[in-house]
């Protein structure tokens, strides 16, 4: 029987080489897989997953907190009376509100790195935010009036362009937009006459101001494989509809009717939150 020692040595050498070489090949395969692009275009060039999504429509739902400013000028007066304190009963102030709410966005077909989108949302303050003007008249000698303004809620809709770019495994999106916003306020005028019992009157009315809205948004998705993102946005609202209103008291026996005047002059808005894409 021929000597089998050379054959055993050759087999031992082959097994040793396999045990040494296979881990190295495995590591190389893993590194190659990690370095490989997530997708390849028809031209053979690698593209990021965010730029390879060929769905016609993408949807996003967001939870958001918002800070909204409304620059306003309000005043009150009483018919046929001259204010005891003279002119200057108007008061200008910025009504500042912290709000919570949500929104939805629909992104259209992709054109290169851009997608058009339409969005809508709404917010409302969890607490009451009111400011009022100086008292018109003198409580000690006759009737007085006071106007107040309270922020209720905001609804907005806009059109824009999404431009997304990969940052490693993350995605950064820039989104300028233009749209329309509806801000609703509770306007109230109070009539008081300490000299005549039973002539007090309070009247309130909801007023909705329509504004052009200009702004932009930045969204950051930490992982392109996880459809969650955080965002921040801001802009300006410029009133174009129902921004100058009057509210009269409704006390039928009051011949000296009190009137509140409200002029909304717009303001900035800032939003931040978290969203999910599907």
* pLDDT confidence of residue 132: 83
**Cβ-contact 255, 269 below 8 angstroms:** no
User: CA-CA distances (angstroms) from residue 7 to 2, 15, 16, 20, 139?
Assistant: 10, 12, 14, 20, 117
Q: Residues in the chain, how many?
A: 278
Model confidence at 175: pLDDT above 90? yes
30, containing H or E segment: helix 5-35
Model confidence at 87: pLDDT above 90? no
> Lowest mean pLDDT: which of 106-120, 165-179, 256-270?
256-270
- 91 pLDDT band, cuts 50/70/90, is confident
* pLDDT confidence of residue 271: 97
* pLDDT confidence of residue 27: 42
For 57, which DSSP code? -
Per-residue pLDDT tens digits for 143-172? 888 889 999 999 999 999 999 998 988 999
- Rounded to an integer, the average pLDDT of 58-64 is 97
Name the pTM for this structure: 0.75
What are 44's two structure tokens?
């053979």
User: CA-CA distances (angstroms) from residue 50 to 47, 56, 63, 196?
Assistant: 8, 13, 22, 72
Tell me the C-alpha distance between 105 and 223, whole Å. Answer: 20
- Rounded to an integer, the average pLDDT of 52-80 is 88
Looking at the chain, the whole-number percentage of residues with pLDDT higher than 70 is 75
Strands (E), 108-252: 114-124, 130-132, 136-137, 144-167, 170-192, 201-221, 228-241, 244-248
User: CA-CA distances (angstroms) from residue 83 to 1, 80, 138, 199?
Assistant: 129, 10, 8, 19
Per-residue pLDDT tens digits for 191-224? 888 777 777 778 889 999 999 999 999 999 999 8
Per-residue pLDDT tens digits for 3-54? 444 444 434 444 344 333 434 433 433 343 343 344 444 444 444 556 667 7
């Amino acid at each position: 029987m021929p000597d089998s020692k050379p054959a055993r040595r050759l087999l031992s050498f082959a097994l040793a080489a396999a045990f040494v070489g296979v881990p190295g090949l495995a590591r190389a395969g893993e590194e190659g897989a990690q370095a490989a692009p997530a997708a390849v275009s028809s031209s053979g060039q690698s593209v990021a997953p965010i730029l390879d999504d060929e769905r016609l429509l993408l949807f996003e739902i967001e939870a958001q907190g918002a800070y909204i400013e409304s620059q306003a000028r309000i005043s009150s007066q009483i018919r046929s009376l001259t204010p005891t304190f003279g002119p200057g009963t108007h008061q200008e102030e910025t009504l500042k509100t912290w709000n919570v709410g949500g929104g939805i966005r629909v992104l259209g077909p992709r054109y290169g790195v851009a997608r058009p989108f339409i969005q809508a949302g709404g917010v409302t303050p969890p607490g009451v935010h009111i400011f009022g003007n100086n008292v018109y008249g003198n409580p000690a000698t006759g009737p007085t009036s006071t106007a107040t303004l309270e922020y209720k809620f905001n609804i907005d809709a806009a059109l824009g362009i999404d431009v997304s770019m990969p940052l490693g495994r993350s995605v950064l999106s820039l989104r300028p937009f233009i749209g329309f916003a509806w801000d609703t306020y509770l306007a109230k005028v109070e009539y008081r006459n300490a000299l005549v019992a039973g002539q007090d009157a309070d009247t309130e009315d909801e007023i909705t101001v329509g504004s052009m809205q200009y702004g932009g948004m930045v969204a950051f998705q930490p992982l392109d494989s996880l459809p969650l993102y955080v965002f921040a946005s801001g802009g300006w609202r410029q009133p174009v509809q129902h921004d100058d209103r009057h509210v009269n008291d409704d006390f039928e026996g009051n011949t000296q009717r009190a009137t509140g005047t409200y002029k909304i002059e717009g303001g900035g808005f800032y939003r931040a939150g978290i969203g999910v894409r599907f």
